[in-house]
Structures are given as C-alpha cells and as structure tokens.
Chain A
Amino acid sequence: MNQILDLRGVPCPMNYVHTKLRLEEMSEGEVLEVFLDKGEPFSNVSRSIKEEGHEIIKVDRSEEFCVIVVKKGGGTNG
C-alpha cells in the first residue's frame, strides 16, 4: 500500500519539509503519494525530491492539484 501525504494548502517551503520528514521515516523502495497545489508547490517540491535522490515515477493532475508518486531513494545527497 502506498503512503499518502496531503499537502494541499501548505505553502513552500513547509510542504517540502513535511515531505522530507515523511520520506525519512520510510524505507528504500517504498512509495509515497504527495498531494500538492499546482504551480510553485508542485514545481518546487518535485525538484527538491529529485535533488534528494528519490525517484519520481508518476505525476497525476486534476484541475486544482497534482499528485507526485515518489519512490524513496537509497540515500540523500543533501
């Protein structure tokens, strides 16, 4: 079962902080679905996830929000 984190309405950079903390609790290879507002939150959080060495496997979007499907990577490069 994928984990889910609903960060709609949470501004930058707190949305990323929540994502980072959740990913730290998970083990490598586990999948997290992050719900984000469109625009900056979507762009910024996905870029940071990539830079931390996780894999974005899919992105879904509706009119108002996006869902980033992330596979936890082996380690952070931060």
Chain B
Amino acid sequence: MTIDVNFLKQGGFIKQRHPDYFLVRVRVLAGDLKANQLKKLSEISEKYGAGWVHLSVRQGVEIPNVRIEDFQAVVKELEEVDLSTGACGPRARVILACQGSSICPYGLVNTKEMAKKLDKRIYGRGDLPHKFKVGICGCPNSCTKPQENDLGFMGTAQPVFDEVEGACIACGLCAEACRFGAITLDDEGRPHIDLSKCISDGRCIHACPTGAIRAAKIGWRVFVGGRFGYKPQLGIPIMEFVPDDEVVDLAEKILLAYKNLGKKGERLRDVIERMGVDEFIKEAGVMKVESDT
C-alpha cells in the first residue's frame, strides 16, 4: 500500500519510540464516548494496534502501535462512528469538560453543552504561536482543572436571600452547607450572607429546601494564561458571571488576541507576562471584572 503524504499532514498521530509504530490520538469531546464508539475503538485496537488503548489526561483516547501505512484506514474506521483524530501542534486542542449540571449534583452550568459550542467554534484552529488549551468545569470544585488551561471557564453562582420564591423555615441548612463560613444565622435562625467570603460554589442554593436562597447570578468565571508542564502556573481570573451566550464570543476574542499578539513559541501566559494582563485584556477587547473572592 502506498502512503498518502498529504493525508498524513492532517496530523493526529505521534511517533513512538519503536521506529515502526505510531500512536493515533483520538479526539474525545468532554470525555464522553458512546457505546458504538467504544466498540469501534476496541475493534481498531485489535485490528491495527496492540489490543489496548491509553486514556490521556485530556480525556482523549490514544491507540498505540499503529503502522503508518494503516493510518488512513484507521481514520476511515473512526469516521464510521463520528470520531476523528485529535489536534496536535500549535492548534486549539480538544475542549476538556467535567460532567457539569446534567450529571453532577454540584454542577451549576451545563458543561457538556458549552463544550460542544466551544468545540464547534474554535477546535483545531491553527496558525497559532503555540498550542491553545481550553478547559471547563461546572463548579468551583474544579474537577477538570480549568486553571491549568490557556483559557478556562468555571461555573459559578452568587446566592441571595430572597423570600419571594420560598419562605425561610430557619432550618440552617444553608449555613451548614457553606464551607467558608459565609453564612451566619441570626437569633431567629435566618441567614445572612457575607459575599466577601463567598466563593460562589452554590452549595447554599442547592441546600435550601424552600428556595429562600436562590441564585442572583449564574455564569462563568474566566481564567487566562494557565498552563502545566515544566512551568506550572494557574490561570488568572479575569471575569465573573459571564452568561452562557457570551462565552463563545469571549473565547474567540481571546484566541484572536493570542494569535495576533503572540510571538512564535509563546504560550498565552508568556504573552500575558510580556504585556501585562490588563493590557492584554484591553487589546483583546474584553472587560476585566475584579473577582470578589
């Protein structure tokens, strides 16, 4: 079989130590695979690989021991079940997401939906100074560590005590639920929320049995410039409570600014350190909001 070099340019495979073997990187959005996709991965690994796969920390699947002449056939089989190879190199990588509000009891936002939207708009975008990673999570527990990504989004909710939707029965569950002592109960057992101590994890909102504590705002906290690797640095929070329908445009603006302002080889963090976070944000055309945490 002849090897189509143009086809190989699309990437998605990595050279292994062994001279004849390549690792095929399969893109898995938000860590979710359907049963038929799992079956196909199992088949492919037996037919073309070593009979096993590796799960990457970015929720991807890697198929080891594939010969380069089989790569095209593997891609074709992946396509049969709506899978494709994952981006490598200086591109926008697969979007990482936790279970979020559709599965996890702590979730405040729908991470799966947001991952799909972000994926549609920015996944695979190339011609960047370096790689660009986006990670999202559904609440401040940060299971998928959005702070380690070039761009991170975290679901948050700000509580308010408001008895329009439900009367307070002085149960104290809200104060019990808060891990930061942001809620104190008065002599009648009614809550007072100190927002300066609140990290917006929504625990009190979930806890209140009557709806007397509800979310005043739900949205996304935005982190820029996170990375791990040889020089770990956490992303810098720049915005709070960004609504669902503004997230994708915001990501686009930051990605564009990174593309335009970054020098070859710079991660977003390097650009931000060179320019200063305020200047970067200004250039990107997004507004910085002081975090109240």
Q: Footprint of B on A, CB under 8 Å?
A: 38-39, 42-43, 46-51, 55-59, 61
Q: A50-B209, A56-B209 are in contact. Are A43 and B169 (CB under 8 A)?
A: no
* Least CB separation from A70: chain B residue: B209
Whole-angstrom distance from the CB of B179 to the nearest CB of chain A? 10
Q: A48-B105, A51-B105 are in contact. Are A43 and B173 (CB under 8 A)?
A: yes
B171 an interface residue at 8 Å Cβ cutoff? yes
Q: Which of A42, A48, A49 is the one whose CB lies under 8 Å from B176?
A: A42
Residues in B neighbouring A49, C-beta threshold 8 A: 209
Residues in A neighbouring B177, C-beta threshold 8 A: 43, 47
Interface size class of B (residues with CB under 8 A): 10 to 19
Q: Which of B169, B172, B207, B210 is the one whose CB lies under 8 Å from A47?
A: B207
Q: Which of A39, A48, A55, A56 has the most C-beta atoms of chain B within 10 angstroms of its own C-beta?
A: A56
Contact A55 B209, beta carbon cutoff 8 Å: yes
Contact A56 B105, beta carbon cutoff 8 Å: no
Residues in B neighbouring A61, C-beta threshold 8 A: 172
Contact indicator per residue, chain B 191-230, by CB within 8 Å of chain A (1) or not (0): 0000000000001001101100000000000000000000
Q: Which of B169, B172, B173, B203 has the most C-beta atoms of chain A within 10 angstroms of its own C-beta?
A: B173
Whole-angstrom distance from the CB of A61 to the nearest CB of chain B? 7
Task: Give CA–CA (A48, B105) in the complex, Å.
Answer: 9
Contact B105 A46, beta carbon cutoff 8 Å: no
Contact B105 A47, beta carbon cutoff 8 Å: yes
* Least CB separation from B208: chain A residue: A50
Q: A42-B176, A43-B177, A48-B105 are in contact. Are A58 and B207 (CB under 8 A)?
A: no
Q: A48-B105, A51-B105 are in contact. Are A43 and B171 (CB under 8 A)?
A: no
Contact A56 B206, beta carbon cutoff 8 Å: no
